[in-house]
Structure 1
Amino acid sequence: MRRVRFLIAAGAASLLSSAAFAADMPLAPPPYAPPPAADFGGWYLRGDIGMSSQSVKKLDNALYSTLTSLNQRTGFDSAGIYGIGVGYQFNNWLRGDITGEYRGKSNFHGLDIITFDNGGTPGFGSDTYTGSKSEWLFLANGYVDLGTWYCVTPFIGAGVGMSRNTISNFVDQGVGSLAGGGIGPSLAYGDNASKWNFAWALHAGLAYKVTNNLTLEMSYRYVNLGNGVTGDLRTFDGTNSVYNPMQFHDITSQDVRFGMRWDLNSPPVYAPPPLITKG
């Protein structure tokens, strides 16, 4: 009996000693996890470069009404694209931005094969055109992000805005002949001219998130730039009997672009709570 009392007393003393030691130890911090990320982004800046592949539906001129027939071939060389913009990420799937870009000078080349009637005498000829075209393009764009796999996000979008199309260094070199002979070569120039137009665009591409702040893009864009116009066409000596600028109808472009988006909202940094000690 005395031995049992001794063992009970020894156990109680050991428990009291352990409790006193634990009271002097700092409390363990509670499990901590940062709050979930909010379902929105914020402001971002963007920059883009690319190349264009442009076309024009048709050329028109006041003198075309006098022709018997017209067969037209036209084309543009590729040119560079340089743009900047600012945007806002509304949530994980919707964002929008406003962009401005300069579309570099693209060399133009065209050919008209014509037949005409000169006072009852049939004639035929050709006109070869050269010149260049450039634009300032301003768009308000909206995009839908379609989900993210391994940091890659496909997206689609659309934009509307304005385009200032400039036609410069336009030259018309012609040659013609009547059935009985006559009519030789001709040469005409058009002054540089610019025209503002409504413009719209469709986008599709892939975005790759490099860091929390940096996203790279590769995209395709179809853009309708509206119309363009030259100054009045005049002969080499500066004369012209009728006002006949060359009209460029329905200019479109298929663009390939590489872009960068920089998130202006730094990701939050979470610090663990301070250790709590018992005084």
Structure 2
Amino acid sequence: MRSVKYLMAAAGAASLFSSSAFAADMPSIMPPPPQQYYAPPPQDFGGWYLRGDVGITAQRATNISNPLDTTLNVTGPSYAGTGLSGAGSYDIGVGYIFNNWLRADLTAEYRNAAALKGSVYGQFSAFGGNFADVDNYSANLSSFVFLANAYVDLGTWWCITPFIGAGVGVAYNHLADFRDDGLTTFNGLTAGTQFAANGDKTSLAWAAHAGLAYHVNQNLTIELAYRYLDLGSAVTGSTNFAYSSPGVLGTHSWTVNDLTSQDLRIGLRWTCCDLPPAAPPPLVRKG
């Protein structure tokens, strides 16, 4: 009887051993442990955009001069101000977003005619005598401005991105309807008004920008910006000196020097192609 018990125990042990070995040889059918899958990190993107802006301008000039200041030995000119009325500006442009902090664009702008007003007091000597002269000037100034601009976006909070930028290009300044109302005292004589032909001049222009951009959606952005713009100078066509024949002093033109403007602008930027969306947070697949 005892031998039968030993035989049954040995058979059970052999069966258990063979089952364990067989199980070790079989491939596992249990699911693998949980694994984490991460979306790719956000990438800098590029894309073309169109833009359009409207604005109001506050322009000024340093002074108004002409070659007769030297010919007539003008001394002690005192400028009572050379200002221009407010006017509108309108531009269109095309640009490219290099990454999430740098972009650039090319713009073409038209600036409405602004009324120029200025006055100057001076003394000069000519024709054997001394003159005391007060001149009041008026004209209309309009411009075309072409700029290449670059901007740095300074980060985005609540869909708002502050930015700064700079631009360089050319300004095509058109000076029209120039009039000089002068009062010259010389031995009791007075002189009246002279006119100048319209004139055009192309000058180097540069700009500095600062503003805020609000991202309405992935493609549309609204900008509110301040710009300082240097337009160079403007000139009239030729005119004759009012107090003598052209044979004495010849013809000359007037120059409006150091034209600058402080502009407040609002604009739209429309991205022409879809930008890749921001990367979602990491996804975890649970076992």
Check whether TM > 0.5: yes
Map residues 95-244 of structure 1 onto 2, 5 A cutoff.
Answer: 95-119=103-127, 121-178=129-186, 181-234=187-240, 240=246, 241-244=249-252
Query: Could you tell me which amino acid in structure 1 is paired with residue 196 of structure 2?
Result: G
SS of equivalent to 1:175: strand
Residue matched to 2:256: 248
Residue matched to 1:274: none
Residue matched to 1:83: 91
Determine the C-alpha separation between the residues in 2 that align with 1:37 and 1:258: 30
Query: Could you tell me which amino acid in structure 2 is paired with residue 41 of structure 1?
Result: G
Conserved in 2, the CA contact under 8 Å of 1:62 and 1:243? Answer: no
CA offset digits 1:12-46 (Å, max 9, x no partner): xxxxxxxxxxxxxxxxxx99987555311300000
Residue matched to 2:63: 58
Determine the C-alpha separation between the residues in 2 that align with 1:159 and 1:34: 39
Map residues 10-25 of structure 1 onto 2, 5 A cutoff.
Answer: none
Conserved in 2, the CA contact under 8 Å of 1:187 and 1:235? Answer: no
Determine the C-alpha separation between the residues in 1 that align with 2:117 and 2:88: 18
Show structure 2 runs of 5+ residues with no match: 1-34, 278-287
Query: Could you tell me which amino acid in structure 1 is paired with residue 151 of structure 2?
Result: Y
Determine the C-alpha separation between the residues in 1 that align with 2:125 and 2:240: 22
Determine the C-alpha separation between the residues in 2 that align with 1:239 and 1:217: 55
SS of equivalent to 2:69: helix
Query: Could you tell me which amino acid in structure 1 is paired with residue 190 of structure 2?
Result: G
Structure number with bigger Rg:
2
Aligned residues: 238
**Identity percentage of aligned residues:** 44
Query: Could you tell me which amino acid in structure 1 is paired with residue 172 of structure 2?
Result: R
Among candidates 65, 70, 77, match of residue 77 of structure 2:
70
Show structure 1 runs of 5+ residues with no match: 1-29, 270-279
CA offset digits 1:196-235 (Å, max 9, x no partner): 1111111100000011110000001111111110011236
Residue matched to 1:18: none
Determine the C-alpha separation between the residues in 2 that align with 1:198 and 1:165: 11
Conserved in 1, the CA contact under 8 Å of 2:241 and 2:250? Answer: no
Query: Is 2:50 aligned against 1:45?
Result: yes
Determine the C-alpha separation between the residues in 2 that align with 1:236 and 1:104: 30
* Deviation beyond 4 Å, 4+ runs, structure 1: 30-37, 235-239
SS of equivalent to 1:64: helix
CA offset digits 1:83-120 (Å, max 9, x no partner): 00000001100000000000110100011112223455
Determine the C-alpha separation between the residues in 1 that align with 2:147 and 2:69: 34
